[in-house]
Amino acid sequence: MEDGMSVFWIMVAANVLLVAPLILLLVQASRRARAGWLRAESERVRCQENEHRLRSILEAEPQGILVLSLDWRVLQINPAGCVLFDAGFQKRSSERHSRAYPFQRSTADRRYA
């Protein structure tokens, strides 16, 4: 009976020695993942605040402003820009699909692109 009990306790000790470090690694990895998630979430909130601030500035600017993509398509235009270019956009141009409004470059612009 004593031999059976000692073998049992040896097996328990071996399992504890093998499993305990794995559990600790899992806890550490979980903490690192949570910290990374919190950093990413705060970055997302910060970017949303910056975007909101820039959109507010763009909408309030009395001068006409076009925001163009790399392929010269209109991504956004403010209300003054709609009046200036007689574009016929809605007040909130971000609600419309940007591919519907190509902006043509002049031949001089094409030479330097």
Q: What is the pTM of this model?
A: 0.51
HSE-up of residue 38 (Cα within 13 Å, Cβ side): 6
Query: End-to-end CA distance of the chain, in Å?
Result: 88
Q: Which residues contact 102 (CB under 8 A, 6 or more apart)?
A: 72, 73, 74
pLDDT digit string, tens, across residues 93-109: 444 444 444 555 444 44
Q: pLDDT tens across 32-68, in order?
A: 999 999 999 999 999 999 999 998 998 888 888 888 8
